[in-house]
Amino acid sequence: MRAPTSLSFAFVAASAALLALTPPTYAAKEKIVTTVQGGGPVLAQANTDRRRPGKLPPKRFVLPAVESSKVPPPAATLPRETIPVPDRWRIVEAIGVNAKWWDPYNQNVMKADRPLFGEWFINLAIISDTVFEPRRVPTPTGTAGTTSPNQIDQFGDTKQNVLNENLIVSLSFLKGDTAFRPPDWEFRLTPIFNYNRVRVEEKGVLKAHTGSNLTRHDQHLAWQEAFVDYHIRNVSDRFDFDSIRVGIQPVQLDFRGFLFQDQQLGIRLFGNRDNNLWQYNLAWFRRLEKDTNSGLNDLVKDVRKDDVIFFNLYRQDWPVLGFVSQGVIVYNQNRENDDFFFNTNEFLERPASFGTELQRSYDVTYLGYNGDGHFGRFNLTTSIYHATGTDDVNQFSPFGESADIRAWFGAAEASVDFSWIRWRVHAAYASGDDDPHDNREEGFDAIFENPIFAGADTNYFTRQAIPFIGGGGVQLTTRNGMLPSLRSSKEHGQSNFNNPGLILWGVGGDFDLTPELRISFNANRLSFDNTEVLEFVRNQGAIDDEIGYDLSIATIYRPFFTQNVVFRLSAATLIAGDGLRDIYRTSGRDEDRFYSILANLILLY
Please give the C-alpha separations between residue 487 and each of 61, 262, 420, 571, in angstroms, as whole numbers: 94, 18, 41, 26
- Specify the pLDDT at position 470: 54
Q: Both 124 and 67 in a single domain?
A: no
Residue 115 located in a structural domain: no
Q: Does 82 score more than 90 pLDDT?
A: no
Contact 14, 8 (CB under 8 A): no
pLDDT score at 10: 43
The pLDDT value given to residue 29: 37
For residue 430, the model assigns a pLDDT of 98
∠ CA 249-254-259, nearest 5°, is: 85
Phi and psi at residue 598, to the nearest 5°: -120, 115
pLDDT of residue 173: 95
CA gap 349, 357 in Å, rounded: 11
Residue pair 498/530 in contact (Cβ under 8 Å)? The answer is: no
63/128 same-domain check: no
Predicted confidence band at 135 (pLDDT cuts at 50, 70, 90)?
very high
Give the domain-ending residue among 44, 77, 110: 77
Question: Cβ contacts of residue 446 below 8 Å, gap of 6+?
Answer: 258, 259, 260, 409, 481, 483, 485, 495
Distances from the Cα of 111 to the Cα of 183, 228, 345, angstroms: 15, 19, 41
Note the pLDDT of residue 449: 96
Residue-wise pLDDT for 339-356, tens only, equals 899 999 888 999 988 888
**Integer CA distances (angstroms), 16 to 21, 22, 44, 52, 224, in order:** 9, 10, 27, 19, 108
**Do 335 and 343 meet the contact criterion of CB atoms below 8 Å apart?**
no
Q: How far is CA 133 from CA 202, 481, 521, 595, in A?
A: 18, 17, 18, 10
d(CA 420, CA 98): 39
**Residue 19 pLDDT:** 37
Tell me the mean pLDDT in the region 569-587.
Answer: 86
Within this chain, do residues 370 and 467 fall inside the same structural domain, yes or no? yes
Residue 113: inside a domain, yes or no?
no
User: Is residue 34 within 8 Å of residue 66, measured between CB atoms?
Assistant: no
* Domain-terminating residue out of 77, 102, 128: 77
| One-letter amino acid of 367 | L
Gap between the Cα atoms of 258 and 363, Å rounded = 19
pLDDT at 108: 84
- Amino acid found at 84: P
| Judgement on whether residues 9 and 131 belong to the same structural domain of the protein | no
| Spatial distance between the Cα atoms of 352 and 346, rounded to a whole number of angstroms | 13
> What per-residue string of b and e applies to 522-558 under the rule 16 or more CB within 10 Å gives b?
bbbbbbbbbbbbbbbbbeeeebebbbbbbbbbbbbeb
pLDDT tops 50 at residue 519: yes
Which of 269, 270, 266, 271 has its CA nearest to residue 284? 266
Residues 329 and 221 in one domain: yes
- Backbone angles phi and psi of 127, in degrees to 5: -130, 130
- Which band of pLDDT confidence, cut at 50, 70 and 90, is reported for residue 47? very low
pLDDT > 70 in the chain, percent: 80
| Whether 44 and 132 share a structural domain | no
Give residues with Cβ within 8 angstroms of 456, minimum separation 6. 462
Q: Which band of pLDDT confidence, cut at 50, 70 and 90, is reported for residue 316?
A: very high
* Rounded Cα gap, residues 123 and 118, in angstroms: 15
**In this structure, is residue 83 part of a structural domain?**
no
Residues 61 and 167 in one domain: no
For the cut 50, the answer to whether the pLDDT of residue 34 exceeds it is no
Supply the pLDDT for residue 79.
62
If asked whether residues 73 and 132 sit together in one domain, one would say no
Lowest mean pLDDT among 460-474, 502-516, 519-533, 552-566: 460-474
Residue 487 burial by Cβ neighbours in a 10 Å radius (0-12, 13-18, 19+): buried
Confidence bin at 399 (pLDDT 50/70/90)? confident
CA gap 228, 185 in Å, rounded: 7
Name which of 556, 458, 440, 550 is nearest 504 in CA terms.
550
505 assigned to some structural domain: yes
Neighbours of 284 (CB within 10 A): 14
What are the tens digits of pLDDT across the range 289-315? 999 999 999 999 999 999 999 999 999
383 part of a folded domain: yes
Counting residues of the chain whose pLDDT is more than 90, the rounded percentage is 62
Is 112 part of any domain? no
The whole-chain average pLDDT of the chain stands at: 84
Residue 35 has a pLDDT of 37
Closest Cα partner for 245 from 232, 229, 264, 231?
229
Q: Are 302 and 285 in contact (CB under 8 A)?
A: no
Residue 98 lies in a domain: no
For residue 83, what pLDDT is reported? 59
Say if residue 27 is in the same domain as residue 130: no
Greater confidence (277 vs 585) lies with 277
329 occurs within a structural domain: yes
CB 526 within 8 A of CB 461: yes
Of 204, 200, 199, which Cα lies nearest the Cα of 154? 204
Q: What is the pLDDT of residue 581?
A: 87
Beta-carbon-side half-sphere exposure of residue 98 (alpha carbons within 13 Å): 1
Closest by Cα among 28, 39, 36 to 62: 28
Residue 305's domain spans which residues?
120-604
Least confident of 110-119, 166-175, 373-382, 557-566: 110-119
pLDDT at 245: 98
Which residues are 310's β-sheet partners?
283, 330
pLDDT at 31 over 50: no
Domain shared by 69 and 152, yes or no: no
In this prediction, residues 7-12 reach a mean pLDDT of: 40
**Strand residue runs (E) in 215-277:** 215-234, 241-252, 261-273
Per-residue pLDDT tens digits for 540-553: 888 999 999 999 99
pLDDT at 42 over 60: no
Q: Which of 289, 334, 328, 327 is nearest to 308 (CA)?
A: 334
Please, which pLDDT band fits residue 101 given cuts at 50, 70 and 90? confident
User: Is 126 found in the same domain as 39?
Assistant: no
H or E element in which residue 413 lies = strand 403-418
CA dist list (Å): 516 to 106, 419, 513, 563, 568: 22, 16, 8, 10, 12
Residue pair 136/198 in contact (Cβ under 8 Å)? The answer is: no
Alpha carbons 198 and 218: distance in angstroms, whole number: 9
Q: What is the dihedral of CA 204, 210, 211, 216, to 10 degrees?
A: -10
Q: What does the pLDDT read at residue 11?
A: 39
**Which amino acid does the sequence have at 464?**
Q
Q: Which residue has the higher pLDDT, 583 or 194?
A: 194
CB 281 within 8 A of CB 311: yes
Cβ count within 10 A of residue 577: 18
> Which of the listed residues 77, 101, 128 is the one where a domain comes to its end?
77
Residues 158 and 55 in one domain: no
- CA atoms within a 13 Å half-sphere pointing along the CA-CB vector of 318: 13
Residue range 43-55: average pLDDT? 49
Angstrom distances, CA of residue 394 to CA of 342, 397, 472, 498, 519: 21, 5, 16, 8, 46
What are the tens digits of pLDDT across the range 239-254?
899 999 999 999 999 9
CATH number at residue 332: 2.40.160.100
Q: What's the total number of domains in the chain? A: 2
Residue type, position 118, single letter: G
Burial of 407 (0-12, 13-18, 19+ CB in 10 A): buried
